Amino acid sequence: NAGVMQNPRHLVRRRGQEARLRCSPMKGHSHVYWYRQLPEEGLKFMVYLQKENIIDESGMPKERFSAEFPKEGPSILRIQQVVRGDSAAYFCASSRLQAPEQYFGPGTRLTVT
């Protein structure tokens, strides 16, 4: 049973470019969560999605960030016009129901140059 998959594992973007991060949840999981880890910080909640629905995006920056979890395919976290402050590790987790156990992927490390 494959775990949560994230790709790419490492992503380098120049300032102003777009970053697309993908997350495939575990088989049978229909709930996806995105977290961000800035340097020297703990993991911070960004957004919680179910298939075709954003349930809670209270942790998402107001501009440039968006997330989706379509009926088919992976969940996508999209960052437009990246800036150096977006450099971080982005983790995705999935669960069967609303928690309690969230299973994490290995993360995507985004570097903005």
Partner 1 sequence: ILNVEQSPQSLHVQEGDSTNFTCSFPSSNFYALHWYRWETAKSPEALFVMTLNGDEKKKGRISATLNTKEGYSYLYIKGSQPEDSATYLCAGGGSNYKLTFGKGTLLTVNP
Residue 3 binds to partner 1 (criterion: CB under 8 A): yes
Taking CB under 8 A as the criterion, the residue among 21, 23, 24, 35 binding partner 1 is 35
The DSSP secondary-structure symbol of 52 reads T
Show the DSSP H helices in the chain as ranges: none
Report phi then psi at 68, rounded to 5.
-145, 160
Residue 33 binds to partner 1 (criterion: CB under 8 A): yes
**Which token pair is 9?**
């594992």
Report phi then psi at 84, rounded to 5.
-60, -35
Nearer to partner 1, 87 or 104 (CB): 104
Name the site residues for partner 1 (rule: CB under 8 A).
Answer: 3-4, 31, 33, 35, 40-45, 48, 55-56, 58-59, 91, 95, 98-107
